[in-house]
Structure 1
């Protein structure tokens, strides 16, 4: 297996690459449909119905009717601060080329007016979107990702290259770090194209899970993901505030700090492909990880049987894991990386 190593010229090269290639439009025949919310069994054997599949929070009637979707968002230094991340239900963070992190964010409850900067797709982002059965906004992609989009009708691509009217450039920033969209624009596309969007999620929520006395304290969480990027969290007022490269992360839309109720850490093999550029990130199989919430930590195991199934989270001894009600950031990291916490 090749070691994951990156060099400064590669970073510079990637930072100036824009979006340019052809792609096919994904569509389907069924409109958005919201099925009944999940019923979750908790420790006291009472059934609790959560309105929001992704946060466990109660929703207003207007929020219930929102069409969920995802968006691939850049996280190079030139892209910060990003727009819309504070309003996402779940933010998945992993690596792209050159040690540069990237997000794919899931939006349902909220309707951010600006989302971005939007960047290109990779196979592992497609895997996450397919896992949740959701459309996702992006601009271009790797050759491997584009081929998957073209040949797999279950992948619900909303590509700026062929759907430019649903995206726009912010002239206050330089390309390629200035491509944006909005929740209204993406939901309009989904509706107008009759794209099928049935909500699926096996996430379970129970705040009482985090009142167990045997949990270890974790009010500071640190990740050094490579020589070019670190991210840290500090537990403040019931949430984990995010720092990137020792700078507090904020949302450009509202100047609010990026704060999360839950931090999921999924450890999996990550290796460089034969082109010495793109990454293979194993999203199917089994592995270990961590779940941080309420200033505590639980070591976990994850498993996912196929691309058509969802990732299951359990404790180390195989019991059900419950997130606290609220938003989540989900780190997908290499097995060699271990978060430090206290």
Structure 2
């Protein structure tokens, strides 16, 4: 049985001292100074933030529907294209222990070229469903197909990139393999451009006009010009029992499965985390966007732990179920520090939410403030929580080798057109939830 994650936070209380002006007793009565009045707080302009980064909108900002794309991350598909343009990048385990990416964009016209595009999975879709985002992929699992049916996603579920995008059979991967040379699978060659996506949108009469004043996370208000310093967070009674709420986070290493890992190295000069992944030779390499030769870097890194296991009845295909109903513990890393947090989601229609911890190890009522900027988010199996590393760079040998990537055996078979589960996604979720419970021990993640 898996363990239900609970966590804790202590909130820093600010006391504001008000100074009163005193009338001078030495001044003549006829020339008494006027009584001082308090300086009013400046009136802030309307809050108009980028939905995915919390930054102030620029003149070119289009307050439109978010775009999400499924991108292959099996090691043979690297390097990918278009990831550096993402405002938020999700990484979650799929079949065979591998992970897949879902970059989110506020403006699809800024993507350029994206890929290799891969098939859709429900653990990603459920994160964007509340936002009614455009979901771009090639193929989908039968579970994902049922979700699209149950939630009437229609043309927003773009499942035929193969008919609108382009194949690049000559592309060469990190190891020198290509489809043209007979050393790279055909599924690692599919890409889509912003222009091709625009053509699809126009041809299918998709309404991209979806203005919103909401943001994906509860960002620090850009109008104040302030940044939340995690090192200034106040530890609480939780610290005495479970350890500090905030600790070192210059080096962050996430284990998604026994064979797939991601790590981040903090760069103080840019105040960002450089992203690296392990490879089939056991080496760490930068995660690079092939389209512009840019190494991926994020000011915000979020790691959310939950129960992830195979859907009952789908063992042959190893389709993975991610538990979002209960929420759990996680980490928010920024500025070389990592802070323990709590996350919640609930039903598929509810948005992802982040919270501070209470002194009792529970989810507080206070939404976590995330600093503005791009974010990487890992939704990760709690089975590997004990292998999460966050420490100083000086504590780590950055040149050492790590686990070699490999893929467990499974039958890769996307759903046929018109294929259904034979049950609703609610029934499927009830079956999947009964396969494991989360723990109530806040020490489940150190």
TM-score under structure 1 length normalisation: 0.81
User: Any stretches of 5+ residues in structure 2 without a counterpart?
Assistant: 3-13, 17-40, 172-178, 180-185, 221-225, 234-245, 279-283, 359-363, 392-446
Deviation at 1:202, TM superposition (A): 4.4
Give the aligned partner of residue 160 of structure 1: 160
SS at match of 1:221: strand
Of structures 1 and 2, the one scoring higher in RCO (CA 8 A, sep 6+) is: 2
Query: What RMSD over aligned residues (CA atoms) do the two structures have, in Å?
Result: 2.4
Question: How big is the shift at 1:212?
Answer: 4.7
The runs of 5 or more residues in structure 1 that have no matched partner are 3-42
Residue 188 of structure 2, aligned match among 168, 171, 177: 177
- State the partner residue of 1:258: 296
Structure 1 runs (4+) greater than 4 angstroms displaced: 43-48
**C-alpha displacement at 1:124, in angstroms?**
1.1
Q: Deviations over 1:74-116 (max 9, x none)?
A: 1011111111111100011001110111011101257122101
Matching residue of 2:201: 190
Q: Which has the larger radius of gyration?
A: 2
Cα distance change on mapping 1:187 and 1:59 into 2, 3 Å: farther
The aligned counterpart of 2:339 is 298
| Distance (whole Å) between structure 1 residues aligned to residue 63 and residue 168 of structure 2 | 29
| 1:158-307 correspondence runs (5 A) | 158-160=158-160, 164-165=163-164, 167-173=165-171, 174=179, 175-197=186-208, 198=210, 199=212, 201-206=215-220, 207-210=226-229, 212-214=231-233, 215-236=246-267, 237-245=270-278, 246-273=284-311, 274-276=313-315, 277-307=318-348
Counterpart mapping for 1:105-120 below 5 A:
105-109=103-107, 111-120=110-119
Specify the alignment match of 1:331 in structure 2: 378
1 or 2, which has the higher strand percentage?
1
Q: 2 CA distance for matches of 1:314 and 1:103?
A: 24
| C-alpha distance in structure 1 between counterparts of 2:157 and 2:92, whole Å | 19
Output one character per residue of 1:149-175: Cα deviation in whole Å (capped at 9) or x when no partner. 2342146201126x712x111122331
Deviation of 1:66 after TM superposition, in Å, equals: 6.2
Shift of 1:281: 0.9
TM, length-normalised to structure 2: 0.63
In structure 2, C-alpha distance between the alignment counterparts of 1:231 and 1:172, rounded to whole Å: 28
Q: Deviations over 1:245-282 (max 9, x none)?
A: 01111100111101011111111110112332111111
Q: Determine the C-alpha separation between the residues in 2 that align with 1:121 and 1:143.
A: 10
Secondary structure in 2 aligned to 1:121? coil
For the 8 Å contact 1:67–1:187, the answer to whether it is kept is no
